């Protein structure tokens, strides 16, 4: 079905019915609105709830539309650069551009910096904790998580997309995940521990929506 907003925008709506009590909205890269709705909720009721949450949905749509138009840009440590391909041996930057011999080489540069910078920041964050267990650090692109701590397997996995963010936000995610070695859930004790190592965690959470 299609929903037409008050400003004339037409959004295709994909409804997934599940055995849950709440309704969830998400705009994906195809610019369609995906709705996870309870089994019993009618289509008319879903459209009404979309209308009630229209302003938030439009913001999600605009943010995703802007993101999909950013394919010619390169985000690195919180700053946006335009991509310029030219003959040279390595990736370089100026204030506005990243210069690269090819997009393949730019991706290789990005992945190498993930390992270099993430490892360095984790080593710094370790100093905030006493009796931190030995763990394996992993990196991969994730769609819904900025980081994952597997206490049983003693692994910490960081989302490679964090290299696009300010370094302070990367540091927050690292602290967040390391705290899970001591507190398994997001209890008051967990957030108190996070706050000791990263006092401005609420602002970081807001920026990451984490």
The chain-wide mean pLDDT, for the chain, equals: 93
User: Residues for the chain: how many in total?
Assistant: 210
Report pLDDT for 69. Answer: 59
61-72: average pLDDT = 73
- Residue 209 pLDDT class (50, 70, 90 cuts): confident
Q: How far apart are the first and last CA of the chain?
A: 31
pLDDT in tens, 127-182: 999 999 999 999 999 988 999 999 999 999 999 999 999 999 999 999 999 999 99
The domain limits of the chain are: 2-68, 73-105, 108-208
Report pLDDT for 73. Answer: 86
Q: Is 15 exposed, middle or buried (0-12, 13-18, 19+ CB in 10 A)?
A: middle
- Residue 68 pLDDT class (50, 70, 90 cuts): low
User: Taking the model in full, what pTM does it have?
Assistant: 0.67
Instruction: Give CATH superfamily name and number for 108-208.
Output: Metalloproteases ("zincins"), catalytic domain (3.30.2010.10)
């Amino acid at each position: 079905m299609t929903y037409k907003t008050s400003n004339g925008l037409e959004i295709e709506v994909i409804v997934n019915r599940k055995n849950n009590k709440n309704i969830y909205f998400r705009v994906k890269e195809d610019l369609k609105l995906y709705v996870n709705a309870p089994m019993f909720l009618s289509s008319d009721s879903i459209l009404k709830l979309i209308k009630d949450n229209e302003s938030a949905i439009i913001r999600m749509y605009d943010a995703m539309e802007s993101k999909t138009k950013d394919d010619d840009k390169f985000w690195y440590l919180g700053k946006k650069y335009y991509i310029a391909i030219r003959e040279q041996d390595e990736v370089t930057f100026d204030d506005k551009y990243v210069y690269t011999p090819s997009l393949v080489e730019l991706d290789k540069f990005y992945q190498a910096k993930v390992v270099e910078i993430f490892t360095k920041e984790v080593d710094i964050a370790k100093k905030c904790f006493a009796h931190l267990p030995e763990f394996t650090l992993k990196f991969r692109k994730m769609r819904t998580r900025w980081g994952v701590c597997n206490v049983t397997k003693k692994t910490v996995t960081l989302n490679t997309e964090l290299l696009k963010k300010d370094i302070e936000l990367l540091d927050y995610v690292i602290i967040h995940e390391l705290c899970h070695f001591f507190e398994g859930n997001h209890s008051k004790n967990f957030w108190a521990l996070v706050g000791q190592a990263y006092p401005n965690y609420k602002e970081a959470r807001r920026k990451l929506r984490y």
